[in-house]
Structure 1
């Protein structure tokens, strides 16, 4: 299952997603702070429990000096 990270995050509490045993594919275009917040919220919600793997698509917003060398990895 996958898509835009913010769209996946919006599924929390909506009983629309089950990632148990699955692979999460995501991409995002809002930079480091947004990616960190969204992944943290997904982890704390328990939605990522049982996840078998993660595939990361295109992540934009790390190209400028504000990222201070940080990457999604």
Structure 2
């Protein structure tokens, strides 16, 4: 097993933000666009999937109402 090295010290938030800015500043708009699109798709997935999910639920309920067996296939 490897020995895990722990570093002790103070985290300086301003320095962290400066380092992060230095990493992305040459391609800021690409990073911004990727983040924005990812957030939009992530937020839209529940909206996109709610229709098929509700149809599936109602199909199961209709099958049960008609006395047919219900399964996950």
Greater relative contact order (CA < 8 Å, ≥ 6 in sequence)? 1
When Rg is computed on C-alpha atoms for both structures, the one with the higher figure is 2
Q: Write 1 or 2 for the structure with the bigger share of strand.
A: 1
Q: Please report the TM-score for the alignment, with normalisation by the length of structure 1.
A: 0.22
Q: Please report the TM-score for the alignment, with normalisation by the length of structure 2.
A: 0.22
